[in-house]
Chains A and B, each alone.
Chain A
């Protein structure tokens, strides 16, 4: 069965600290996709990244970086030099390859609330 676990319910750091949000997933498929979304206080979810299971290269986008490790079924997200504007709830999600039986759903983690204190 597919499952996404974000064990950190809430993280609080002081501005400029680095912070890593953990995401562990379970799937029996060899082809799957992983996502991170940000939900600021306004409520709208913002897409951050998509990763397919065949690409284990780490990704960096400005202060954001993602570490995908199939050996540990993890897709962790690091924010370097955090800023107050990074305060949000962050969701990790999993999608398996579509098939005749596929319902194209995203399996969502419970989210990690990140608080960046000035």
Chain B
């Protein structure tokens, strides 16, 4: 089955700790994205990557880092510099390329991060 997997589903972190959220896709998509969603709010873009070994900051990149060493993987690290990391994190992918604007994004099931 083709799709996007995110793990873990629930994650608890102590203040001051870095934590990495996993995102894997087997759709052969070039583009991948990380969003943050706070309760009752819309989606805000953290980072995106249009191609392997390249990524760009979104609207709220501070306190986060990413890597794109493989086409199918786009892990997100929430660092201790992120002041309010408790949120729902969604990973998405799309075909990408020059037609990227027209391509719908497909989403994983999300990871709910709680800082204790």
Contact check, A98 vs B100: say whether CB atoms are below 8 A apart: yes
Query: Which chain A residues border B105 with CB–CB below 8 Å?
Result: 47, 106
B69 sits at the interface (CB 8 A): no
A sample of 13 cross-chain residue pairs with beta-carbon separation below 8 angstroms, ordered by A number, consists of A37-B107, A43-B90, A44-B90, A44-B107, A45-B43, A47-B107, A91-B42, A95-B102, A98-B100, A108-B42, A108-B43, A109-B42, A111-B42
Instruction: Give chain B nearest CB distance to A104 CB in angstroms.
Output: 4
B85 sits at the interface (CB 8 A): no
Q: Which chain B residues (36-78) contact chain A, with CB distance < 8 Å? A: 41-43, 45, 48, 50, 56, 58
Q: Which chain B residues (83-116) contact chain A, with CB distance < 8 Å? A: 88, 90, 92, 94, 96, 98-102, 104-110, 112
In the bound complex, CA of A52 to CA of B43 (Å): 22
In the bound complex, CA of A71 to CA of B42 (Å): 26
In the bound complex, CA of A95 to CA of B102 (Å): 7
Q: Which chain A residues (6-55) contact chain B, with CB distance < 8 Å? A: 32-33, 35, 37, 42-47, 50, 52
Instruction: Give chain A nearest CB distance to B71 CB in angstroms.
Output: 16
In the bound complex, CA of A32 to CA of B70 (Å): 30
B31 sits at the interface (CB 8 A): yes
Contact check, A104 vs B31: say whether CB atoms are below 8 A apart: yes
A102 sits at the interface (CB 8 A): yes
A57 sits at the interface (CB 8 A): no
Contact check, B90 vs A105: say whether CB atoms are below 8 A apart: no
Query: Which chain B residues border A91 with CB–CB below 8 Å?
Result: 42-43
Contact check, A98 vs B101: say whether CB atoms are below 8 A apart: yes
A81 sits at the interface (CB 8 A): no
